[in-house]
Structure 1
Amino acid sequence: MNLNITIWSLFLLIGTIQALILCFIFLTQKKGNRKANLIFSSLLLIFAIILFDHSLRLSQLYKFFPQGLYISDSIWYLIAPLLWIYLKIRLGNNKFRLIETLHFVPFLYFFYTYRGMLFLNSKYKAAILESYVMHGSVHNFLIKVFILIMMIQMLIYLIICFNFIYKYEKRFKDFFSSNQADLLTTLKRIFLFFTLYFIFEFAFSTYRNFANIQNRFIENWSLVMWTLFILILSYTIVKSPKLIFESIAEPKRRKQKYEGLDFFEIEKELLSYIETSKPFLDNNLTLPQLAKSIKLTPHQLSFALNTHLKTTFYDFVNTYRVKYAAQLLESGEHLKLSIFGVAQVSGFKSKASFYSFFKKQFNTTPSKFIEKL
């Protein structure tokens, strides 16, 4: 029995193994939000099944495990609702209402409709794969429609997820420490990957299915993207586990009255405190901490920053940090600490945030800034 172990199938098998390892890590992780970790471990298990199924098809290992063919087809419908539930739980909503089980109706419907294929005799499964025929043209067309519906479902859920993140960030950004802001940035990048992937997959699969055009290279790369995502996620966990596991706490807000506040006096006191005490050097500085230092409530300070200074706490603090970093670069501190070392001393936790704010402030990168000195 000849096998066809290609670089594609090998890469998918590596992704399968790595996804299972990550699934175990998330499942046994005690830090952060346990419910969110459980949901994400379920997603990783789904990715592992998808990659394993397709690695069987590419390598012809299905001849040894024909019963494993097509096991992933129905579980694609689970990705969108699980991502949505993961996002809600990660951002502090731990309640799961009974009505939310409706999210899984598309999966159950497809599973029921497709059950004949899933539990088909293994020899017939192998024969279908080899001949690219699925019980006639009518059934084949229905499968194409199911795939199209799944892609549309995924894109709709991702739009809802990004809208949820946007509203959450807009509401609570001023109350985050730089660490919490980095956690939210990591979360947004995870959802950005899924968005870009499914936009590509939606365009390609629709064109392929309804124009009857096959392109093995694009199909293979589509699956390899899952493996790359899993490997990048693994690297992030090793390098900065807090970015994945740590909870993003939702700050509590109450309505406050701002009548009688002298915003010019608040500005004067705030700037004086910032310049003399340099609290921005603390990379865990939060808005409540800063407000307490100048005898204001967090809401009063947030209101003053937003309406009077036309900025946010996050931008306000990082502007001072980046200016302080520039002073250190000018004095040659980077020769002792490295550029990122200077960023950390200045209060930045994230290299990405430092470079982003530095370029925004000085319209150049730190390296080019040093060259001009």
Structure 2
Amino acid sequence: MDKSNLLIIVTTISLFISVFLAFFLLTVKTKHRLSNTLFAVFLLITAIDTSEPLLNLVTDGPSNPGMLRNTLAFLQIPVFYLYVSSVCYSDFKLKPQYILHLLPFLMANVVLLPRFYTVDLASKMNFIINRQSMIELQFNHILFHIQIVIYLIAVFMLLRKAKRLYLENYAGTSISSYNWLFQFTVVLTLLYLIVMLKNILKFSDYPYVSESIKIGILVFQLFISCWYLLKALNNPGLFRNIDSKLKLVSDIISEEKNSNQTAVTEQEYNRDLLMLKEHMAEKKPFLNPSLTIQDISDDIGIPVRELSVLINHQLGKHFYDFVNTYRIENAMDILKDQTKNKVTILEILYEVGFNSKSSFNTAFKKHTGNTPTAYRKCM
């Protein structure tokens, strides 16, 4: 099988998987419809971008729609950034200012107007034949690479902040959503780095190497699409969001310093801490697997802002770890109770407020140094 046939086969399979996954995301019933729609758009743009080998079978030469298809690549990473934002924040909405994300795409097409979009077929052919010396295409490739770097940095910064906000304000198991999304972004970053290498070689003395890499990119895209599809099918409720109005504790403290707000006195700190500990011991709110700092604030009457500073700053623990400490200590009591030696580890983790075996094992080992099974055997 020659390289061109292999490229067509891989492209066909990749397109089918991408379109199928996009259809699934657009039709599945979920409260996170906007997130699904954005990722479906990302998949469809990617599918159109990689469809060149198939389109070459039915087209005779360069055309305006064909060039427009090429420049759609400028929309991929902005749509992915918006998708990540929608996953991270529950109150995410599309806003008029997001139209600015279209600028690179528009710039890439505007520079092509004089010598491609507005000329005859012969001139278009000449433009493509001499593409390595065409300043417009060189400009677009540089712009595309700059765009990728800027957006990927922005995505990683967004994920980092979202994870910190989650740890400071929530104690559910949804942290796995952000861990998985981070992994997905890392894999996508690797894919874009390969694309950048392909584009660089395209304008070098080794354009044939670029064609070989194209096959690898399509296979890689196929792998990513299948991975995401498997994750979506097995975990339909994976992603749960946080409120974007929440602030990091470090920002709250900085604001208080800048505004010269009166610091909490030692007496107030001790009073609030005692109230918090009594509430955790007596009411056991940690048994709620979806507990948030807002829930505890409502129960004991301490404003979220002050409670967040108390736990995340003054106690030196993320709210997530603070709550899990109580859950693990409760689990330890059950594991030590000989009358409950028939209760399974799975039953225990659900009883104390976890709803994920992996998160329970991780938290238990972090707190005790042992796995739950090993701890029970030592008792």
User: Above 0.5 in TM-score?
Assistant: yes
Aligned with residue 157 of structure 1, among 151, 174, 179: 151
Task: Show the counterpart of 1:194.
Answer: 188
Aligned match of 2:305: 299
Match of 2:237 in 1: 242
1:102 and 2:100 are equivalent in the alignment: yes
Provide Cα deviations, 1:217-246, integer angstroms capped at 9, x if missing partner.
5432222222222112211221221224x5
Give the Cα–Cα distance (whole angstroms) in 2 for the partners of residues 226 and 107 of structure 1: 22
Amino acid at match of 2:31: G
Where does residue 219 of structure 2 map in the other structure? 224
| SS across alignment from 1:285 | coil
Task: Give the residue type in structure 1 aligned to 2:99.
Answer: T
CA shift for structure 1 position 162: 2.4
Consecutive unaligned residues in structure 1, runs of 5 or more: none
Please say if 1:73 is aligned against 2:70.
yes
- Structure 2: how far apart are the matches of 1:307 and 1:143? 52
Counterpart of 1:83, as a letter, is F
Aligned to 2:206: 212
Judged with a 3 Å threshold, the aligned counterparts in structure 2 of structure 1 residues 262 and 187 are, in CA distance, closer, same or farther, namely same
Q: Which amino acid aligns with 1:301?
A: L
User: Hey, what does 2:48 align to over in structure 1?
Assistant: 49
User: How many Å apart are 1:364 and its aligned residue?
Assistant: 6.0
Q: 1:48 to 1:305 in 2, by over 3 A?
A: same
Tell me if the contact between 1:11 and 1:224 (Cα under 8 Å) persists in the aligned partners: yes
Change (3 A) 1:70 1:3: farther
Alignment partner, residue 359 of structure 2: 353
Q: Provide the C-alpha distance between the structure 1 equivalents of 2:361 and 2:60, rounded to a whole number of angstroms.
A: 51
**Structure 1 pair 281/208, CA: closer, same or farther in 2 (3 Å)?**
farther
2:57 to 60, 63, 67: 63
Alignment-mate amino acid for residue 288 of structure 1:
Q
Q: Which residue of 2 aligns with 1:314?
A: 320
Name the CA shift for 1:70/1:188 in 2 (closer, same or farther; >3 Å).
Answer: same
- 2:19 matches 1:20: yes
Q: Does the 8 Å CA contact 1:88/1:94 hold for their aligned counterparts?
A: no
C-alpha separation in 2, matches of 1:263 and 1:299: 13
RMSD: 4.3
- 2:168 counterpart of 1:174: yes
Alignment-derived partner of residue 83 in structure 1 = 80
TM-score, scaled to structure 1: 0.75
TM value normalised by structure 2: 0.74
Aligned-pair CA distance for 1:46 = 0.9
- The residue type paired with residue 220 of structure 1 is I
Select 1:288's aligned residue among 294, 307, 320. Answer: 294
Question: Which letter does structure 2 place at the counterpart of 1:236?
Answer: K
**2:68 and 2:109 in contact (8 A); partners too:** no
Query: Which shifted more, 295-304 or 148-157?
Result: 295-304
Pick from 205, 218, 228 the counterpart of residue 233 of structure 1.
228
Between 136-145 and 103-112, the greater mean CA deviation after superposition:
136-145
Deviation, structure 1 residue 140: 5.8
Separation in structure 1 between the aligned mates of residue 346 and residue 226 of structure 2, nearest angstrom: 24
Matched length = 358
The Cα of 1:308 is off from its aligned counterpart by: 2.4
Q: Rate the CA distance shift 1:318–1:201 in 2: closer, same or farther, 3 A.
A: farther
In structure 2, distance between residues paired with 1:12 and 1:342 = 48
The 2-side partners of 1:196 and 1:17 are apart by 23
Whole-Å separation in 2 of the counterparts to 1:22 and 1:302: 40
CA drift at 1:138: 4.4
Q: Does residue 141 of structure 2 align to residue 147 of structure 1?
A: yes
**CA–CA distance in structure 1, aligned partners of residues 303 and 237 of structure 2:** 29
Q: Is the 8 A contact 1:33 1:247 kept in 2?
A: no
The one-letter code matched in structure 2 to 1:22 is L
Quick one: distance in 1 between partners of 2:377 and 2:210?
Answer: 48
SS at match of 2:291: coil
Question: What letter corresponds to residue 226 of structure 1 in structure 2?
Answer: Q
